[in-house]
Amino acid sequence: MREIVFDTETTGLDPQSGDRMVEIGCIEIINRVPTGRTFHAYFNPGRAMPSGAEAVHGLSDAFLSDKPAFADKAEELLEFIGDAALIAHNAGFDFGFLNMELGQCLRDPVCRSRMIDTVALAKTRHPGAKLSLDALCTRYGIDRSHRVKHGALLDAELLAQLYVELTGGRQIGLGLVASAANDAQAGIVIVRERPYREPRPHAPSERELARHAAFVATLVDPIWAQAR
């Protein structure tokens, strides 16, 4: 099962009021295991970066000035995500910006039926707990010491680890059942040698028989004697 974990950075909180996406980071996972394939891009938003947003992600007007527009990277992004499910933390926010940018360059929006929200998953597993990415990484022991500011690819990498934990833990990526099924389908028979062990004795010893007989002799009017 192929899935894409992604995160975005933006100029603000509302794509409908003119805010734009300035960074996206995507991590490919198959059967809950990262494959090493990623997509990462910065975008020139065509507008000034508010100081509040820059304080969050550190992306300045000067840094973004020579970056491509989203439209220039849209085809490459769509090719990378394909038809996979898309996982994000507070996914409605990221989908809102992704589909706004796709609409700006006359591309079809990504259907929200493909959306998996890790905030919703965490809320189900930990009702009443803090649901920020930082708080959940701390809960699951995911190292985030290198996360000084928000960054789309870094946050997607952390989120990929968190998603695995929220959906059952790291062991679900081992694929043992699938591997066995594939071997059987391919006609592969795996023979595992086991060391020979002598059978364990199960018959009672003479001493045990004698002790049992002595115990039975102490019973008064046993029920099995009444049935004779």
Active-site residues, by number, are: 150
3-state DSSP of 39-86: EEEECCCCCCCCHHHHHHHCCCHHHHCCCCCHHHHHHHHHHHHCCCEE
Token duo for residue 34: 């990262």
Longest dimension (CA), the chain: 103
Looking at the DSSP bridge assignments, the partners of residue 7 are 25
Q: How many residues does the chain have?
A: 228
Q: How many CA atoms lie within 13 A of 149 on its CB side?
A: 10
Ramachandran region of residue 81, left (φ > 0), alpha (ψ -120 to 50) or beta?
alpha
The answer for residues whose C-beta is within 8 angstroms of residue 73's C-beta and 6 or more apart is 41, 43
